[in-house]
Chain A
Amino acid sequence: MIGKVAITGLGYTEFSAGSPGTSFRELTYEAAAKAYNEVGIEPKDIDTFVCTSEDFCEGYSISDEYCNDQLGAVLKPVQTIPGDAIHSLAVGTMLVLTGQFDIVAVQALSKLSNMKTIPNMVNFAFDPILNRPLDEHYSYVSGLAMNRFLHDGKATREQCARVVVKNRANALQNPVAAYAADLTLDNVLDSEPVSEPVRLLDLAQVADGAIVFVICSEQTARSLTDNPIWVKGVGWSTDSPSLESRDWGNAVSTRLAGDMAYKMAGIKYPAREIDLAEVTDEVSFKELEYIEALRLFEPGRAGLALEDGRTTRGGDLPVNVSGGDLGVGHLFEAAGAQKLMEIVLQLRGTAGSRQIANAHTGLAQAWRGEPTTSAAVAILSNK
């Protein structure tokens, strides 16, 4: 990457199944105040703001108009990304690289507990003529993908359940996670069928929370903090929106997003150069699919790596130490922000009881969720 960009400030709320006492703007305000305080800045010091917001999620259309006041961004240059928070980090990074903006705030939020009809909203994202009339819960797309994934022998059903057990147990060490639990494989395999082979415990449950990052140029980063976390590479990609013509079963958009980020970061051997990864596990099998698509494990080996403990907290390539979407909670467009946050905490060495020893380079990947094919990847480093 030309020039260096660092994440300096980080602020976040806890993640919880509900936040009835706090409005969505107050959640962001809490995260923003913490992020700014961490590096001793005020909104007047921030040159531009990048928010992440999907229409309807917070109960507004044109929801981006309601992103600025809680960040201290009224009458400041603001833009909103209707994608994942890793897309927003990519945009914020590019803004710094223009040389026109020295300090940028990047925000993401989930207040999905306020939405009483989440499946209806997600179904509004399906093709209205071909797919939506089927009137099925959106997880059917995951059911179709997972059944073929298992049929092709990419992992076993038990290995998928093991992802859930691992990640929800990981969340026990994360004080802000919403769904920490000590589960058995049978708990997962015997849970209620949803879109078989997908069962209830294969699916991440919705959580609320907000995350704000302060990112800036190298010179400013060094003046604001002793432990800047460098954005080494970003990448993003989207396959066809059509269920009829997309590439089922190869996670191509994640592969391409990863390759773009690796190239920018100068990473040639991801499996050796990445110390830890946070990837989408919104549906259990996706973790296994994505860590192969990201070249962290050989094709067909992710399930075995999991069984061998290589992706657990003590393994040689820990995956979703934070607890992932399954353990922390499904944060919709803020999902990628939670993954970035975990990498930042780990690379700073401030991850508490779940700290990974000698972590220098981490990867965050997020998928935008059913029925989309959008993926975004960021590579962060403390060197």
Chain B
Amino acid sequence: MYSEKVMDHFANPRNVGEIENPDGVGEVGNPVCGDIMRMYLKIEDNRIVDVKFKTFGCGAAIASSSMATELVKGKTLEEAWEISNKAVAEALEGLPPIKMHCSVLAEEAIHTAINDYRVKQGLPPWEEKSPHHHEGGEGCELPDE
């Protein structure tokens, strides 16, 4: 069900780990849903010079984290902010529909880490474009049954 790219990033995830004294950290998701991502950023001159992640989750969650770190590395914060969940999923040669929420988590992890940095710098956090700008991603809502 997964593309070769997903399997590659799952089996050999890039940028796993932690950064000591990171400039920004973002943690999203929730163990109840089965996916948690934590993203660490090292930022110099408004540019992401290093990025690491730790993820608890399925193959798609681990692959999305790994791909997201590759996509943001070396980017300016403005450029990194523009990387959408769709871009992560496309770079992975697609995700099954039920797994699109994993790419949403990756986007959210980047955003949360960038805003963590901005707030620490005394800057106002950037706002999400709209609550429904994700494409094809479903959040974790526990069914009421």
Asked if A pairs with B, the answer is no
